[in-house]
Amino acid sequence: MKAAVISFTEKGGRWNREITGRLRAEEADSTGYGFYKYAGEGLTPFTHVKDLTEGLFASCDLLLFIGATGIALRAVAPFLRGKTKDPAVLVMDECGLHVISLLSGHLGGANEWCRRIALLTGAEPVITTATDLNGVFAVDVFARENGLAVRNPEAVREVSGRLLNREAVGFYSDIPWEGELPPLLVPVTDRETGADEARRPVCGIVISAEGDRQVFPLSCFLVPRDLTVGIGCRKGISREEITRCLTRILEEKGLWEGRIARFTSVSLKSAETGIQEEALARRVPFLTFTPRELEQVPGSFHGSSFVEQTVGVDNVCERAAVLGSGSGELLVEKQAGGGITIAVARQSASAFRVLFRPYAKEDTKNGTAGTVT
């Protein structure tokens, strides 16, 4: 997890150093940035917050601004891409009285981070998401916690709106699930007929690798992040070249990019900027393996004597994809072009299991949200 804390005053800088230190203690890759007049020891100075934000927005999972909300809003506004791509953005006042979940509360985890920063600092968390305030099941939070990608984000609002209005919402899953279904979520199978089918809710959640399985007239599709992209490339290849190559291959093979769970390669490429930037932009990890580890991967691969002499193993992309996927199925064999080789492996469906954690529900006696344990 990569975090950036940005402050503008001397008092804010003191909070900045304290928060970045505590985040690092929790093993987060955290960097503090201070306005150049008040940066002080331990903070990286900056002059223009908009220029700073442009670089951080694409590379960080969490941005915490210590200062006025208006400054944060104007800083991030030009770089907003959508709820599935934007990082978590928080704002805390320089006195440490309040911390606000400003952007990407669910999919980006801003609400969760808001509570954590509040615990670290003693600030009052400010969360305005309706499902959180009313103790209602949030499908996008559920998706993030279970390694699922939302295929049609616009449907999240439909599901949340119906649950907030106390309407039943269907639930169908190709993947085994555990735990207690939250209130108003109705389990549905694809074998229902007659009266059962007639009582099926109009709107529902569908978990399926197929990505668009029509179980309900209005469906929110959750897809397992089950793809591992193995990649090899010449030194110094740019992120733009990697993006073009990968996008073309996925489109040709009919694979949705939201299913990507990780990038993998040989250890020699661990510092390859283009691959690192592509993984950061997609907010997935980039893992590397030694030539010895790749060599031991069982299977039949497209070997190259040149690659073996250069890297120490006859094939990088296919072996790395299979190893990174936990010995999954090689869906896309080695694709080469422009100094880039790419392969894609799918993690076994048996490796996935959906868990409903203890849920919050409204306490009808006093109107507050309580947790069922």
For 313-362, how does the pLDDT look when each residue is reduced to its tens digit (9 = 90+)?
999 999 999 999 999 999 999 999 999 999 999 998 778 889 998 755 44
- pLDDT category at 28 given cuts 50, 70, 90 is confident
Percentage of residues in the chain with pLDDT exceeding 90? 73
Residue 193 has pLDDT above 50, yes or no: no
pLDDT given at position 13: 95
pLDDT given at position 359: 57
Q: Taking residues 299-305, what's their average pLDDT?
A: 91
How far apart CA 138 and CA 184 sit, in angstroms, is 12
pLDDT given at position 191: 55
What single-letter amino acid sits at 71?
I
pLDDT given at position 190: 67
CB atoms within 10 A of CB 137: 22
Q: Please provide the average confidence, as pLDDT, over all residues in the chain.
A: 89
DSSP state of 221: E
pLDDT given at position 365: 32
pLDDT given at position 372: 36
Strands (E), 208-284: 218-224, 227-233, 260-266
pLDDT given at position 286: 96
Residue 13 tokens, joined: 């800088």
Strands (E), 59-165: 62-66, 88-92, 98-103, 124-126, 148-150
Q: Quick one: how far is CA 242 from the chain centroid?
A: 20
Collapse the DSSP code of 109 into the 3-class scheme (helix H, G, I; strand E, B; otherwise coil) and give the result: coil
- Characterise 100 by phi-psi region: left (phi > 0), alpha (psi -120 to 50), beta (else): beta
pLDDT given at position 107: 84
pLDDT given at position 368: 36
- Quickly count helices (H) and strands (E) in the chain: 13, 21
pTM for the full predicted model: 0.78
User: For the chain, what's the residue count?
Assistant: 373
pLDDT given at position 181: 92
